[in-house]
Amino acid sequence: MKLLFLACLSPKSGNCTTAERIRSHIESAGHTCELRDASEFQSSAEVANLVAQNPPFEGAVAIHLFKAGRLLLDIQVPFGVIFGGTDINEDVKVEQKRVVMEQVLLKARFAVAFTEKLKEEAEVFLLSQSSKIYVQPQGIKTEATEKFCWTEFLKSTGVRSEDVDELHVFLLICGLRRVKDPLYLVEVFSEWHCEDPLNVLVIIGPKIDPVFTVEVEAVAKSGGLPGPGEEPAGASCCHEEVLRRGQQLRLGGHVRSHLGGHGSWGTCGGQGHSRECSRGAA
């Protein structure tokens, strides 16, 4: 089956990573999947023309009902949609967007939500299409590379302790940008760390917004990042060079994707694919 896959492919974003993972699973099942950035298209008519090209696409998938799903409204082949957090947390608040999202959900062969809560909220805010919405949690597996040394890794982030094994390390993986603002977490965690110094937070991910990254680093430092001979603070920095030296985290995951066909749909089981996180942030 030849499938068109539309998603917002901003570099290093969660959408981009998820889309690449799903595309890989679809292709591993023997299908052809062309992943395209939704921002490339100005209208659903453009997508309809693309789908009808020779050889034509036999189905389509989109992440985000409004950002990408609306571009599938004019195609003449079955398609499915995957809910994004923006759909329910933001876009449903705008009446014009909500109406379009309902149209997409009505026409879609199926819809996928990553959590039960997301499905429940979709049923509240959009026209009830419970029979179409399937909950398929994203699975993430983490494992250390062979050369990875946990003790040295923590020291390189600024965390120092006599006994690393006694630390309670919380690892937050996220690209630093304002829409994914971790500042409130850093502030609250610092207070928690003051109560129990064994609780340590490490944030790792790409510096998507350099200006905002500086702000996060400043807050982390003001919260008491350790200086020479000092006890570790609640929030720690994971710098890029730490990961470049081979002390990298490998991220993998699995997502099952429903594939629509001519008059039928089935389920494709996905396998885990490792992905190296080669950049770090505060």
Tell whether 231 is covered by a domain: yes
The reply to whether 123 and 36 lie within a common domain is yes
In which element (H, E) is residue 164 found?
A: none
Backbone region of residue 64 per phi and psi (left: phi > 0; alpha: psi in -120 to 50; beta: other values): left
The reply to whether 171 and 233 lie within a common domain is yes
CA distances 253 to 8, 180, 206, 222, Å, are: 19, 21, 19, 35
What CATH number is attached to the domain comprising 131?
Answer: 3.40.50.2000
Rounded to a whole number of angstroms, the distance between the first and last alpha carbons of the chain is: 43
How many Å apart are CA 57 and CA 3, to the nearest integer? Answer: 6
The reply to whether 135 and 153 lie within a common domain is no
Tell whether 249 is covered by a domain: no
The reply to whether 113 and 49 lie within a common domain is yes
**pLDDT tens-place string over residues 206-237:** 777 788 778 777 766 665 433 333 333 444 44
The reply to whether 77 and 6 lie within a common domain is yes
**pLDDT tens-place string over residues 160-202:** 666 677 888 888 877 777 776 777 777 788 888 888 888 888 8
Q: Could you tell me what percentage of the chain is helix, strand and coil, using 3-state DSSP and rounding each to the nearest 5?
A: 40, 25, 40
Tell whether 221 is covered by a domain: yes
Are the CB atoms for 2 and 61 separated by under 8 Å?
no
The reply to whether 31 and 61 lie within a common domain is yes
**Residue 129 has which token pair?**
């299409």
The reply to whether 113 and 57 lie within a common domain is yes
**200: Cβ–Cβ under 8 A, 6 or more apart, which residues?**
154, 159, 167, 168, 169, 170, 193, 232, 234, 236
- Global pTM value: 0.65
For residue 154, the enclosing domain spans 146-244
Tell whether 281 is covered by a domain: no
What's the number of domains the chain is made of?
2
Secondary structure in 3-state letters for 218-281: HHHHHCCCCCCCCCCCCEEECCHHHHHCCCCEEEEEECCEEEECCCCEEEECCCCEEEEECCCC
CA distances 141 to 84, 154, 251, 273, 276, Å, are: 21, 20, 6, 9, 12
Per-residue pLDDT tens listing for the chain (282 residues)? 999 999 999 877 778 888 998 999 999 999 999 999 999 999 999 999 999 988 999 999 999 999 999 999 999 999 999 998 889 988 999 999 999 999 999 999 999 999 999 999 998 888 766 788 999 988 766 666 778 787 887 777 777 666 677 888 888 877 777 776 777 777 788 888 888 888 888 887 777 778 877 877 776 666 543 333 333 344 444 443 333 333 333 333 322 233 333 322 222 223 232 222 222 332
Are the CB atoms for 225 and 233 separated by under 8 Å?
yes
The reply to whether 150 and 125 lie within a common domain is no
The reply to whether 161 and 99 lie within a common domain is no
The reply to whether 224 and 268 lie within a common domain is no
The reply to whether 120 and 159 lie within a common domain is no
The reply to whether 94 and 197 lie within a common domain is no
Tell whether 125 is covered by a domain: yes
